[in-house]
Structure 1
Amino acid sequence: MMSKPTGTDWKRLAKADDAHIDTSDVPELGDDFFEQAELHLPPKQAVTMRLDADVLSWFKEQGAGYQTRINKLLRAYMLAHQRRALK
């Protein structure tokens, strides 16, 4: 899915040093904000997936949370391709 162009110079921003970003119009978040903040994670969906036995075995050998690690790797792959599509 291709996003509409925003007019933002993403390449220039990617090269910019954070110290040069003007955040003067962004208020600081106080304790009240964090006391009331709620974490909303994307919903998970159970799937049946066929993986090569050695790949699955390697992830399981890394210990508990192997499904979460696989999900994080797939998300990183997805985001990289989405960024590439925006360029």
Structure 2
Amino acid sequence: MPPAEPLSPAFKALSDEDVAHRALQDPDAGTVPDGFWDRLPVAKPEAKEQITLRLDPEVLRHFRSLGKGYQSRINAVLRSYVRAKGGAG
């Protein structure tokens, strides 16, 4: 996934009141009830396992050309494949 675009100076200059007003105008932005986050259980992600993996040079060149985080992108592609095949995520 490419990195997000940097915030514009105009956006960074918005006051908290401006942000709140914009959020109220957004039909997809709902309010989070008080205490919502306090009731959720803590979910700890599984630790990744370090392995040795042989990849075709073409595949490795492609992912490395995308820049920093290429190993995470390879993992994301493999994870989406597993999920598409109905495997455990």
TM-score, with normalisation over the residues of structure 2? 0.52
Q: Which has the higher contact order (CA 8 A, sep 6+)?
A: 1
Q: How big is the shift at 1:55?
A: 0.7
Q: How big is the shift at 1:77?
A: 0.4
Counting aligned pairs with the same residue, the percent is 38
The answer to which structure has the higher helix fraction is 1
What is the CA deviation profile of residues 2-60 of structure 1, one whole-angstrom value per residue up to 9, with x for unaligned ones? xxxxxxxxxxxxxxxxxxxxxxxxxx963423257545222100010000011101101
Number of equivalent positions: 56
- What corresponds to 1:63 in structure 2? 67
Superposed, 1:19-30 pairs within 5 Å as 30=33
Determine if the alignment matches structure 1 residue 42 to structure 2 residue 65: no
Q: CA RMSD in A?
A: 2.5
Structure 1: tracts of 5 or more residues without a match = 1-27
